[in-house]
Structure 1
Amino acid sequence: MWHEYPTLAPELASALAMIEKQITTNNTPVAKAIMEMINGGGKLLRPAYCLLFSRFQDVDREKMIALAAAIETLHTATLIHDDIIDKSPTRRNQVTIQKQFGPDTAVYAGDYLFVVCFKLLSHYASSLRSIQQDSGSMEKILKGELDQMATRYQTKITIDDYLKQVSGKTGQLFALSCFIGAYESGSSPTFAKNAEKIGMNIGIAFQLLDDILDYTSDDDTLGKPVCEDVRSGVYSAPLILAMQRNRQAFLPLLAKKDQITDAEMNELRQLVIHHQGVEQAYAMAQKRTEQAIAGLQKLPAGAAQDDLIRLTQSLLNRKA
């Protein structure tokens, strides 16, 4: 997708190269697997937002590329740990690290990337403020994960519970990306806080659409098994919203928990669509996107603002 952003594409490539340079573990198979995951078709949206928000000021581009690399490293670490918790066999059409090497090695791989993230931050961040922001974000991400674990298989989960979880997980990483890009480029603290709010709306909209695709796409398109979250007891917006319309219709299927068959899963997907769970979730994603774009339209006019608006609008129409 980045060929449409010719000034951004080479910086994202440089960020990936910088991450690879930092992966110096002697465990060659694990290091190779980490880099295959990082280079395996991820969207690189979080580092992209970091870089775009840094363009409202004249700033050392190597510094911002390194900070964008730190953001993507943090994101990849959380994905590795997510795959352990969810026992996911694939991601981005590749075998996960936990499936290849076992959960113990995958834990260490994720932890190693946390170290790489903080090494980059400590070397390139201009002040302790960015490191504080990053550590605070990690705390909120973990809290989102713990909140999600507490509601596994809970059929009475509310949409507010869901929003609290995704704000701490996906929303927080996008918010951090936008904040770091703005703050570390020398923009005012007020500008950086506004960037953070915009990023939160973008992240929540992104997760909502990700959850919608779980009900409207297929394994090959998504690069991972669809609806696996349901088997592990993680209920997302389309299902929660559909259950508000007719909870009793879903309870017999959800009572099967991780024993639900593929045929029953397909039945569940059709129920979610029938009871307008997808439609309602999309309306929520659209509203969050509109809020983000309203914030972006208040930023200084120019190429950075144009690219941010165009990129954010495009996320609502993605198919994977």
Structure 2
Amino acid sequence: MQVQVHPMWESYPKIKADLLSVLQMVESHVRIHDKNIESTIRDLIYSGGKLLRPAYTLLCSQIGSASSQEKERSIAVAAALETLHMATLVHDDVIDEADTRHSNPTIHTQKGNQFAIYSGDYLFCVCFTILSKHASSLAHLEFNARSMEKILTGELDQLNSRYRTVASVKDYLSRISGKTAQLFAVSCYSGAITSDASRRQAVTAWNMGHYIGMAFQIMDDVLDFKGDSQTLGKPSMADIRQGIYTLPLLYAMKAKPNVLHPLLAKKEALTENDLMQIMEIVEETRGVEKAQQVAEKYTNKALKALAKLPDGEYKRTLYEITTNLLHRTV
């Protein structure tokens, strides 16, 4: 299968070429005796994701003064982080019982849960195999191990919060801080580290990535209400169907708890009519608009952090990508 990257990178040929190298590095480390599993994992690598996290790593690898000879190391770190992301997605799909991702059938729907969990576990191994070969220091490797722990804790927090109608906005923000924002932060920080950036610059990159990740997840949750299955690549309102209550719904619950709580109490028994009624209440209470405003605030915080970083062409690209994520439709 030919390696391809998302069309969004057509306007950025240098990043596109580097992202192709990232995918090729991931592919080169997938070596399993069971060719059925190997083929399934390769299909996942080529499934058409945006590759945002490795892109941020690559862009932030231009912050410091390291020479172009360090490019292989930044690509390797980007590949490790993207592999980590893919592993969490495979496990997510099992937990969420998701049938599709990027409009493609998920691994567990094709092969079963055990097969999917094994594939996800293998990808975790690939992540650390790549990272151990190219980590600039053991401290860097330990940092990423601790970061993965926080990411997985965020996933567990989401699992434990399913169908909890008492969840608050603060709880939600804390959850996505671990579940999504952590990996964006690590991606930006790791890129800066590979470029020999200063400690202050690396921390600024970390903060920028955190804010980007927060905004990204909030907009992802907004699109769950605004999009349709064709554009999203998965069923709309999938989160509510799984008992995951995100920011637009939390704002609506705060405004109309007496109407929403009886509906949400149905849990897995929610009908399509129930979902339509929930959607109408979210629209009526401006839940989506309020959530978008929060995403915009985080985006602005990310851009303020970006402004503190050294000048360079990479800054213009980071600004464009980060701004465009706020207005995306998929």
Quickly name the TM-score band, shorter chain normalised. over 0.9
**Unaligned runs of at least 5 residues, structure 2:** 1-7
Give 1:126's aligned residue: 136
Cα offsets for 1:215-256 (capped at 9, x unmatched)? 000011010112122122110011001111111121122111
State the shift of 1:134 in Å: 1.1
Alignment partner of 1:140 out of 142, 150, 153? 150
Displacement of 1:288: 0.1
Aligned to 2:89: 79
Contact 1:49 1:181 in 2 (8 A): yes
Deviation string 1:198-221 (CA, Å, 9 cap, x unpaired) is 100000000000000000000110
1:58 partner letter: A
SS at match of 1:55: coil
Q: Please tell me whether residue 24 in structure 1 is matched to residue 31 in structure 2.
A: yes
Give how far 1:263 is off. Answer: 2.5
Separation in 2, partners of 1:269, 1:27: 45
Letter of the structure 2 residue corresponding to residue 72 of structure 1:
E
- Cα distance in 1 between the residues matched to 2:168 and 2:199: 34
Q: Which runs of 5+ in 1 are unaligned?
A: none
Distance in 1 separating the partners of 2:328 and 2:36: 33
Mapped contact 2:58–2:75 kept (Cα < 8 A): yes
Q: How does 1:1-320 map to 2 (within 5 A)?
A: 1-56=8-63, 57-59=65-67, 60-320=70-330
Aligned residues: 320
% identity of equivalent residues: 46
| Superposition RMSD in Å | 1.0
Q: CA deviation at 1:191?
A: 1.2
Q: Which TM-score applies when normalising by structure 1?
A: 0.98
SS of equivalent to 1:8:
helix
Distance 1:157 1:250 in 2: 13
* 1:7 aligned counterpart, secondary structure: helix
Q: Is 2:66–2:194's contact at 8 Å kept on the other side of the alignment? A: no
- Listed one character per residue, the Cα deviations across residues 128-158 of structure 1 (whole Å, up to 9, x for unaligned) are 1221121111111121122222221111100
Q: Name the CA distance, whole Å, in 1 between partners of 2:319 and 2:48.
A: 23
Distance 1:225 1:133 in 2: 36
SS of equivalent to 2:140: helix
1:262 offset after TM fit, Å? 1.9
* Inter-partner Cα distance in structure 2 for 1:19 and 1:53: 20
* Amino acid aligned to 2:61: S
- Give distance in 2, aligned partners of 1:259 and 1:266: 14
Structure 2 Cα separation of the partners of residues 236 and 290 of structure 1: 21
Partners of 1:120 and 1:185 in 2: how far apart? 18
CA distance in 2, matches of 1:61, 1:149: 38
Deviation at 1:300, TM superposition (A): 1.2
TM-score scaled by structure 2?
0.95
Could you say what secondary structure the match of 1:58 adopts?
A: coil
In terms of mean alpha carbon deviation, does 246-255 or 208-217 score higher?
Answer: 246-255
CA distance in 2: counterparts of 1:22 and 1:266, whole angstroms: 45
Shift of 1:106: 0.8
